[in-house]
Chain A
Amino acid sequence: MRLLLVEDDLMIGESVLDLLRAEGYAVDWVKDGEMADTALDSQTYDLVLLDLGLPRRDGLAVLRRLRARKDRTPVLIATARDATAQRVEGLDMGADDYIVKPYELDELLARIRALIRRAAGRAEPVYEHLGVSIDPVTREVTLDGQAVVLSAREWSILELLLARPGMVLSRRQLEEKLYSWKDDLSSNAVEVYIHGLRKKLGPRVIQNVRGVGYMIPKSAP
């Protein structure tokens, strides 16, 4: 899952960045409103963590532009502005949720998970499909009831594919979701992780659509 962190406070930014990365999210960090606009224009994110008091362009303006482009990316406003009027304005302008600084990291993570879950059209917190079940909170994976141990990247790829069964994701799409701008990626890294996943889950779960990408089928073959 790839997140955009929009935060002008360097101390908050670097802490949030590290903590989110430790949770397995690919995170891009921008420090002003104009850069946030540019990033949102050029890249699809699974969630935007948006501060409001930003240099160059206010967070609400960034949000308004995003929604004006009919972009439905979930937006979680994280700001120190706590007046009710500002929360209402933020939510009415198209934000999906609002969290006031200083916040508990666990609450932030739970809200991020909930927003991503809802954006994928699911209510239940655990993904379960074709005998594979993954829990985004505990990061536990089971195959037919048996626990499977995955690396962080493998887990991320499985989560992406399992979130939208029947949808083919190209290698490039997977890379975009897995790596932020700062990460180096070797050209065949995705293939390596897919290979590892198929070894652990068996070949029937993840299918290769040649020349297009990878998918988890909607129903068992």
Chain B
Amino acid sequence: MSLPLSHSLRARLLWLLLVAILFTAGAQAVIAYRTALAEADVIFDYQMQQMALSLRAGLPVGGELGEPHGTKDEENFDFLIQVWTADGLRIFQSTPQAELPQRAVLGFSRVQARGTTYRLFSIAAGTQVIQVAQDMAARREMAGTLALRTVSPMLVLVPLLMLVVWGVVSASLAPVSRVRQQVATRQADDLSELNEDDLPDEIHPLVHELNLLFHRVRQAFDAQNNFVADAAHELRSPLAALKLQVQGLRRAADDATRDVAINRLNTGIDRATRLVEQLLVLARQQSNSAVGAKAVPIDLTTLARLALADAAGSAAARQIDLGLVQADPGIVMGHDEALRILMRNLLDNAIKYTPAGGTVNLAIRCHDGQTLLTVDDSGPGVAAEDRQRVLDRFYRVAGTEGSGSGLGLAIVKTIADLHQATLSIDRSESLGGLRATVTFTNVS
């Protein structure tokens, strides 16, 4: 059975309590009735017996009893008295209308007569039989009255009890409605924590968990906001540069200045192009990792050769010695296009930040069930305190070339994450510059 308002804690409590109280009251009434009835039996049986005995003592032998004086039915609990002779002749009857059948059984018995049950006590007095009877309804009536008297205070108290329960439940639930109020009135973007004070122990963990959730959502929200703010900054900067370069071109007074301005404008366009490309790569890799594209076995060495060939041009332009120093046969589970972009970004970064005439080394090493891809350079490296931050989107090391998008290592990290690989940045022991290491554990 579903109770009305069964979703309300308060209503549910009230209903269940009411049912419990009524059930208890009912049980109590039944018990009281039974007990009272049993006691009435004992008392009235005793009375009937005494009545019969006293009648036998005063009964004239063979004589008439005469008519009873003044029947007081209400007071004597409907006692009926009859006297029979041995040959079945009724010689006395206390109430003329109430005739009971003659019973030969002596002692207590029950008889059905005139639509009700009588309790009957028969006793022999010489040749006569004295019968005292009482309607059982009288006993039941008395027991009923007694039972009612026991239960009635409770019936009066039930509404009072319900009121108290209502009050207590309402007071206990007040903090809950306060929390509800707090949640209901807040703005859509308000993810601040709810007040956890004065909450009942049963609700406190819920609100606490809710607050933890708010905290996590807020962090994700902030990260998103930061990204948008960073992206706005990073997208506007190349445009601002382009705009200024155009204005520089417009104001150029002579050919030499104009040439400088045109060159700057060209570099500006290259930079904006690269930023857009890198953003697209990042977005594509992130959506790949979201979609969960299927990984296939990839030979890192083959891929490394391709990436080195791609980067050879820009390395040569800066007289940088670019090479593969170790190529263990490393097969990892992954996505070849993504891994190629990863290598290309690491190599481009190394080439960009290494001064002309420097060295960039790529290596693939396998040991302990891991495959390590390392790119070392002889550039200036990154100070220990900046190493974690260079992985952030749009972070550029202070004082470095403005042509970087600040997305290179963020892309590498996204791709590494996609392959459950880790990216770490250290000092290169062999070349003195930066060492970027991608550690693959899902080796095929």
Q: List 10 A-B contacts (CB under 8 A).
A: A11-B267, A12-B240, A15-B248, A18-B248, A55-B398, A55-B399, A101-B240, A102-B244, A103-B240, A105-B244
Residues A81 and B232 in contact, CB atoms below 8 Å apart: yes
Interface presence of A212 (CB below 8 A): no
Question: A22-B251, A80-B233 given as contacts; is B264 within 8 A of A55 (CB)?
Answer: no
The size of the chain B interface, using a CB distance under 8 A, is: 29
Interface presence of A10 (CB below 8 A): yes
Residues B229 and A56 in contact, CB atoms below 8 Å apart: no
Question: A31-B399, A55-B397, A81-B233 given as contacts; is B248 within 8 A of A11 (CB)?
Answer: no
Residues B402 and A80 in contact, CB atoms below 8 Å apart: no
Interface presence of A140 (CB below 8 A): no
Contact with A along B223-267 (1 / 0, CB 8 A): 000000100111111111111110110010000000000001001
Interface presence of A41 (CB below 8 A): no
CB distance from B31 to the nearest CB of A (A): 74
Interface presence of B271 (CB below 8 A): yes
Additional A-B contact list (6), CB under 8 Å, known A8-B396, A11-B245, A56-B398: A11-B402, A15-B245, A15-B248, A55-B397, A103-B240, A105-B247
Please report the C-alpha to C-alpha distance between residue A102 and residue B402 in the assembled complex, in whole angstroms.
16
Contact with B along A5-32 (1 / 0, CB 8 A): 0001111111110110010000000011
Give the residue among B235, B244, B396 with the most A Cβ atoms within 10 A: B244
Interface presence of B268 (CB below 8 A): yes
Contact with A along B393-426 (1 / 0, CB 8 A): 0001111011100000000000000000000000
Please report the C-alpha to C-alpha distance between residue A9 and residue B403 in the assembled complex, in whole angstroms.
9
Residue of B nearest to A8 (CB): B398
Interface class of chain B by DSSP: helix
Residues on B with C-beta less than 8 A from A55 are: 396-399
Residue of B nearest to A86 (CB): B229
Residues B398 and A32 in contact, CB atoms below 8 Å apart: yes
Contact with A along B317-353 (1 / 0, CB 8 A): 0000000000000000000000000000000000000
Interface presence of A213 (CB below 8 A): no
Residues on B with C-beta less than 8 A from A11 are: 238, 241, 244-245, 264, 267-268, 271, 402-403
Please report the C-alpha to C-alpha distance between residue A56 and residue B385 in the assembled complex, in whole angstroms.
11
Residues on B with C-beta less than 8 A from A191 are: none
Interface presence of A192 (CB below 8 A): no
CB distance from A187 to the nearest CB of B (A): 30
Residues A19 and B251 in contact, CB atoms below 8 Å apart: yes
Residues on A with C-beta less than 8 A from B233 are: 53, 79-81
Residues A102 and B243 in contact, CB atoms below 8 Å apart: yes
Please report the C-alpha to C-alpha distance between residue A79 and residue B247 in the assembled complex, in whole angstroms.
18
Please report the C-alpha to C-alpha distance between residue A105 and residue B247 in the assembled complex, in whole angstroms.
7
Please report the C-alpha to C-alpha distance between residue A19 and residue B240 in the assembled complex, in whole angstroms.
14
Residues A102 and B236 in contact, CB atoms below 8 Å apart: yes
Question: Which B residues form the contact surface with A (CB < 8 A)?
Answer: 229, 232-245, 247-248, 251, 264, 267-268, 271, 396-399, 401-403
Residues A82 and B232 in contact, CB atoms below 8 Å apart: yes
Please report the C-alpha to C-alpha distance between residue A15 and residue B248 in the assembled complex, in whole angstroms.
7
Residues on B with C-beta less than 8 A from A101 are: 236-237, 239-240
Residue of A nearest to B250 (CB): A105
Q: Which of B241, B397, B399 is A15 in contact with, Cβ under 8 Å?
A: B241
Residue of A nearest to B244 (CB): A15
Residue of A nearest to B401 (CB): A10
Interface presence of A83 (CB below 8 A): yes
Please report the C-alpha to C-alpha distance between residue A13 and residue B237 in the assembled complex, in whole angstroms.
11
Please report the C-alpha to C-alpha distance between residue A11 and residue B263 in the assembled complex, in whole angstroms.
11
Residues A103 and B264 in contact, CB atoms below 8 Å apart: no
Please report the C-alpha to C-alpha distance between residue A87 and residue B396 in the assembled complex, in whole angstroms.
24
Give the residue among A80, A81, A103 with the most B Cβ atoms within 10 A: A80
Residues on B with C-beta less than 8 A from A9 are: 237, 240-241, 402
CB distance from B395 to the nearest CB of A (A): 9
Residues on A with C-beta less than 8 A from B267 are: 11
Residues B241 and A12 in contact, CB atoms below 8 Å apart: yes
Q: Which 6 A-B pairs have the closest CB atoms?
A: A55-B398, A10-B402, A80-B236, A101-B240, A15-B244, A102-B240
CB distance from A6 to the nearest CB of B (A): 13
Please report the C-alpha to C-alpha distance between residue A121 and residue B424 in the assembled complex, in whole angstroms.
56
Please report the C-alpha to C-alpha distance between residue A14 and residue B248 in the assembled complex, in whole angstroms.
10
Which A residues from 88 to 123 make CB contacts under 8 A with B? 100-105
Residues on A with C-beta less than 8 A from B401 are: 10
Please report the C-alpha to C-alpha distance between residue A19 and residue B343 in the assembled complex, in whole angstroms.
40
Residue of B nearest to A19 (CB): B248
Residues on A with C-beta less than 8 A from B247 are: 15, 19, 104-105
Residues on A with C-beta less than 8 A from B238 are: 11
Question: A32-B398, A80-B237 given as contacts; is B264 within 8 A of A15 (CB)?
Answer: yes
Residues A81 and B229 in contact, CB atoms below 8 Å apart: yes
Residues on B with C-beta less than 8 A from A22 are: 251
CB distance from A18 to the nearest CB of B (A): 6
Contact with B along A177-221 (1 / 0, CB 8 A): 000000000000000000000000000000000000000000000
Residue of A nearest to B399 (CB): A31
Residue of B nearest to A15 (CB): B244
Residue of B nearest to A78 (CB): B240
CB distance from A16 to the nearest CB of B (A): 6
Please report the C-alpha to C-alpha distance between residue A44 and residue B401 in the assembled complex, in whole angstroms.
29
CB distance from A38 to the nearest CB of B (A): 14
Residue of A nearest to B247 (CB): A105
Residue of A nearest to B249 (CB): A15
Residues on A with C-beta less than 8 A from B248 are: 15, 18-19
Residues on A with C-beta less than 8 A from B398 are: 8, 31-32, 55-56
Residue of A nearest to B271 (CB): A11
